[in-house]
Structure 1
């Protein structure tokens, strides 16, 4: 084998071996390559910045649109508040007006109630005054009787001077209600004048004819007077059992000369009280 010798630049001889592939020499970066890489990095950074700016611009546009919408909404709310304020003010004014009207109506209603009570009292008094009637209790009832003729004969015995003018004095005579076998029905007599009624009622109170026939003449009371008597009747009955002197005059009851006043119903209970009639003067009851 031939060994070839090579001499390096220092003069040393190197033994030459079989050729093997020498290591690849490293390439040195050129200045142009460095510039190109830097340019790419700058472009990428600028692109990212531009993208971010675009996103911000889009966000600003959206925010601007929302702000505009909110501004319109607030303006509408402000208008609604102004409208509601005006409505509330108008309602307050109307309430004040209605309050005044209600107060006036209450006063007028109170006055009307007072007038109505007064008118009702006057109407009752007028109806009571126009009652030219008397009722007969206890007269035995016969079949197919002539009630008018029977009463005319009885009155003729009580007031003989009326016999010739009985048809002029008596207006109508009849029994009340349906026939009852247990007791005789009441008879109502209507007179042509109040003075006839008053005179007959006065003379029948203690007349012997009434005692013999066991009959009793009484007032033809109005509905209000009957209710008043019914209200005071428990007290009258209690007084009768106690041996006190009792009686009625119109709607009023008297106990030992003292008149019981009827004040109507209150909470379902009848309020009654004893009071001296005519400011302490004794009033004899007439029944």
Structure 2
């Protein structure tokens, strides 16, 4: 056996004697290591599982949020459509209101104009009726009888009131009739329509302070339209009060005067 076969023995021998008799450290024997790949694989599986769980939760949350956003978006779209329709409707209504306002203003102007025309027409009709009644006189207090000849009675009465007139009373009187409904306790008034206005005015003058009228208990008056009679009724208390105070108070048509000054109701 050669010396090379026991080199390790020499090394061990020399280690024992090296350094002045000190023993040197024996050669290091490599330790048995754990497989690194196996440890890394176990840790990666756990992390992967945790990551997958977290990712799944996040994805589920995102999906739910997305669904909620979709629902909200759909609702917002519906609301937007409704608002658009309402806006269109409001725009149309605003245009209609503006148009109706314009029409209303025009109608108000037309109505105002028509009212003015109606008022003017009424006044014209009243004036025409007033003018026509200036040929008439009323007799108040003339007793009414059954089957009377009211024209003959009035002609006889006028002949006594105006015996010296230069015309025939029968020719100057056109029509004579009573007005209103017949009542048993009160005599109706009599309307006399004359042919000529000058004859009517002369009779009207002669009836003032006439003894025949006082004896018969009758009174002649102007034939006025209802509105003028109502105005006179309202003025009568003032006229009567003025007459009681010995003031000059009188009527001229529907108007009242005290000491030549017009009075109002």
TM-score when scaled to structure 2? 0.70
1:214 to 1:149, Cα distance in 2 relative to 1, 3 A? same
Which position in structure 2 is the counterpart of 1:18?
Answer: none
1:147 aligns with 2:150: yes
1:203 aligns with 2:206: yes
* Structure showing greater relative contact order (alpha-carbon pairs closer than 8 Å, 6 or more residues apart): 2
Shift of 1:75: 3.1
Give secondary structure in 1 for the equivalent of 2:183. coil
Describe the superposition over 1:64-96 as per-residue Cα deviations: whole angstroms up to 9, x where unpaired.
222223223333333433333343333333333
1:213 aligns with 2:225: no
Instruction: Name the structure with the higher strand share.
Output: 1
Describe the superposition over 1:81-114 as per-residue Cα deviations: whole angstroms up to 9, x where unpaired.
3333343333333333333333333333333222
1:174 aligns with 2:178: yes
Give secondary structure in 2 for the equivalent of 1:205. coil
Instruction: State the alpha-carbon separation in 2 of the partners of residues 213 and 249 from structure 1.
Output: 26
Instruction: State the alpha-carbon separation in 1 of the partners of residues 154 and 180 from structure 2.
Output: 15
Instruction: State the alpha-carbon separation in 1 of the partners of residues 145 and 76 from structure 2.
Output: 98
TM-score when scaled to structure 1? 0.65
Question: What stretches of structure 2 of length at least 5 have no aligned partner?
Answer: 1-33
Conserved? CA contact 2:151–2:175, under 8 Å: no
Give secondary structure in 1 for the equivalent of 2:177. strand
Instruction: Name the structure with the higher helix share.
Output: 2
Conserved? CA contact 1:136–1:187, under 8 Å: yes
Describe the superposition over 1:232-253 as per-residue Cα deviations: whole angstroms up to 9, x where unpaired.
2232232223221212122111
RMSD, aligned CA? 3.4
Name which of 93, 116, 119 aligns with 1:117: 119
Count of equivalent residues: 229
Conserved? CA contact 1:136–1:217, under 8 Å: yes
